Amino acid sequence: MVLLVSMNTNRALDFAIFPTVLLITTLLRLSLNVASTRIVLLEGHTGPDAAGKVIESFGHFLVGGNYAVGIVVFAILVIINFVVITKGAGRIAEVGARFTLDAMPGKQMAIDADLNAGLIGEDVARKRRAEIAQEADFYGAMDGASKFVRGDAVAGIIIVLINIVGGLIVGVLQHDLDIATAARYYTLLTIGDGLVAQIPALVISTAAGLVVSRVASDENIGQQLIGQLFKQPQVIMLTAAIIGAMGLIPGMPHFAFLLLAGAMGGIAYYLSQAEDRSQKTEVNSTASAPALIEAPEASWEDVAQVDVLGLEVGYRLISLVDKAQDGDLLRRIKGIRKKFAQDIGFLPPAVHIRDNLELRPNGYRITLKGVDVGSGEAYPNMLLAINPGNVTGELAGTQTRDPAFGLPAVWIESALRDKAQVMGYTVVDPSTVVATHLSHLISTRAAELLGRQEVQQLLDHIGKSLPKLVEDLVPKTLPLGTVQKVLHNLLDEGMHIRDMRTIVETLAENAPRTQDTYQLTALVRVALGPAIVQQFYQTAQELQVIGMDKELENILAQAMQSSQNGIGIEPGLADTVLRETRAAAKVQEQMGLPAVMLVPAQLRDLLARFLKRAIPDIRVISHDEVPDFKTIRVTAIVGGRT
């Protein structure tokens, strides 16, 4: 039963009780050895049937009543059990236990990563952790239980020697038998007893070897054997040919070899025909599928997820995305994704393109998570002439606006390209119009594109070169969701996340003190200060910024302290700050300078969130983010007196 159960399990853990069963069966068999030894020594002088019919049958049937032959057979069984099966199974169990224990941390981290990424739930994670612990316990127990089998084989040899020597002493000294008769009686009984014990021991040892040596799959050993050994009819046919050739050698048992070769050839022919029938059935079922297959029941496969990024085009714009019609929009989109990854610091989701007959023939629509975030029109075989504000004349064509930036534009014929460029227009083709619009949208909405899956992929990519740094952060110190929120905050304020090493190091250093995402974001911004400043002032040593009146700073700081959620500002004060900031930003723009406001660190997050919706182009930085080697010049002051 133990052997058959071992053969019909799909995984080693399906028979996790095996080490305990091994101990029980070993002790049970040894207890029978003790009982039979007692009977042999007490009643052995009466003849070969003194210890019962089982031992007598083994002594006569298996070894023909010849104790010399019995000793040889017994020795061979012990060698097979002790040297081959037990030693091999013990080695496999030892190596399996070592590898399982070594792999435990990695498996635990993989489960934690899947849990943090939202791929599995807490119940599934708990079940997987329990399976890993059970697997380690099982192989550890099997490593120790293999010593039971090994000790059982040694005990069998010793018991046989003790029985033979003890039987001779008892028979000669106590029952006055001659040495030859005593040797024949007691040796035959002892060998029969040993064979009775060794054959079950051999079966149990084989079961142990099967359990630890098999590879886990969805099939048991019999199914794997049939599916893998008899998978290729050509191999079986070649084997039949070799056996048949051996049967033709003079002096060989021709009938046996040729019969075996014929049987294997028949099996190969049957498998080959079955394979051909299966292929024909598959082809016929495929051909007749439209007529035979009924409408399937609804299933979860019918639930379609929305595309993260999508581009829908009208039927007249299909030529822009069709390679057969020399459409280059696909190539441009690939370039957009590559440039986004280089500039922002992570790979955006793929853009799924499809036609939509509900759109206008020349219309297109860009969707983000199924929601329309941008639309426009493009005209194949025409060009869009964009007015940057300093053109010298008007062009004949269809008046419109650039869909990406809202500048005045006009669709013109291709023949007017040179004229439009001379007049100061920026001339682009339809593919560039759509690609530029898409590029602008994904750049401004980068934070919405950074999901948990993208964060995990980003950390995995960094982990290839900095494995210890990433390992110490997620999930040991911070959950994946917190890291995602910090990166989202940075992207939401127009920052790139290319310097992930600094970001991860800062998070790992400060996470033990705070888990608040806004505080962590502020600390990361200080660490990225030089990069933030360089993003607005490429090479300038002097930073021309918008400042804030000290009195206003104190009022806002007091408002933050008195507010429970830290963002309460009196409406009149808020209106004054908003009005004066908008005016200062307009002055900066007229001077050709970036609209950057410099405020104390404790006010930066408050003002950044407050001003973001009303003045999208304003950027708020703190004093702590400005490098020491930069000088500051305030060009305008927001001093709102209330």
- 44 with 167: CB under 8 angstroms? yes
pLDDT of res. 292: 46
Averaging pLDDT over each range in 475-489, 557-571, 627-641, which range is the top one?
475-489
116 pLDDT higher than 70: no
Contact 6, 89 (CB under 8 A): no
Q: Phi/psi of residue 355, each to 5°?
A: -85, 150
Kindly report the pTM of this predicted structure. Answer: 0.54
Residue 4, amino acid: L
Q: Is the pLDDT of residue 99 over 90?
A: no
pLDDT score of 642: 37
426 contact partners, CB below 8 Å, separation of at least 6: 385, 386, 388
Average pLDDT of the chain to the nearest whole number: 82
Which residues does residue 548 pair with via DSSP β-bridges, in sequence order? Answer: 638
Question: Is it the case that residue 223 has pLDDT exceeding 90?
Answer: no
Provide CATH code, domain 534-642. 3.40.50.12790
**pLDDT for 405-440, tens place per residue?**
899 999 999 989 989 998 999 999 999 999 999 999
Write the CB contacts of 295 (distance below 8 Å, at least 6 apart in sequence): none
Q: Which helix (H) or strand (E) holds 41?
A: helix 18-43
Span 2-15, pLDDT tens digits: 888 877 777 777 77
Is the confidence at residue 51, as pLDDT, over 70?
Answer: no
- Strand, helix or coil for residue 328: coil
Q: What percent of the chain has pLDDT over 70?
A: 87
> What pLDDT score does 575 carry?
87
Query: Helices marked H in 476-600 — which ranges?
Result: 480-492, 500-510, 517-527, 529-536, 550-562, 571-590
HSE (side-chain half, CA atoms, 13 Å) at 593: 19
Name the more confident of 284 and 493. 493
Q: Respond yes or no on whether the N-terminal peptide bond of residue 475 is cis (omega within 30° of 0).
A: yes
CB atoms within 10 A of CB 15: 19
Which of 220-230 are b and which e, b meaning 16 or more Cβ less than 10 Å from the residue's Cβ? bbeeeeeeeee
Residues 6+ apart with CB under 8 A from 260: 243, 247
pLDDT score recorded for residue 365: 95
Task: Please state, in angstroms and rounded to a whole number, the distance separating the CA atoms of residues 452 and 120.
Answer: 13
Provide the 3-class DSSP secondary structure of residue 331: helix
pLDDT tens-digit series, residues 465-487? 888 888 888 888 899 999 999 99
Q: What is the pLDDT of residue 214?
A: 65
pLDDT of residue 280: 63
Per-residue confidence at 371, pLDDT binned at 50, 70, 90? very high
Residue 113 has pLDDT above 70, yes or no: no
What's the average model confidence in pLDDT over 169-179? 80
Mean pLDDT, range 546-565, rounded to an integer: 80
Cα-to-chain-centroid distance, residue 533:
38
User: Which three-class secondary structure state does DSSP give residue 386?
Assistant: strand
The answer to whether residue 586 scores a pLDDT higher than 70 is: yes
Where is pLDDT greater, at 119 or 172?
172
CATH of domain 309-445: 3.40.30.60
How far from 238 is each of 230, 259, 435, CA to CA, in Å? 12, 15, 61
* Residues above pLDDT 90, as percent of the chain: 31
Q: Determine the pLDDT at residue 401.
A: 93
Which band of pLDDT confidence, cut at 50, 70 and 90, is reported for residue 382? very high
450-527 CATH choice from 1.10.287.3510, 3.40.50.920, 2.40.37.10, 1.10.8.540: 1.10.8.540
Q: How far apart are CA 475 and CA 305, in angstroms?
A: 28
Q: Which stretch, 40-44, 57-61, 81-85, has highest mean pLDDT? A: 40-44
C-alpha span between 198 and 551 (Å, rounded): 96
Q: Report the C-alpha gap between 196 and 192 in whole angstroms.
A: 6
State how far the alpha carbon of 177 is from the alpha carbons of 26, 65, 66, 170, 410, in Å.
35, 19, 19, 9, 125
pLDDT at residue 281 in the model: 62
Residue 450 above 60 pLDDT? yes
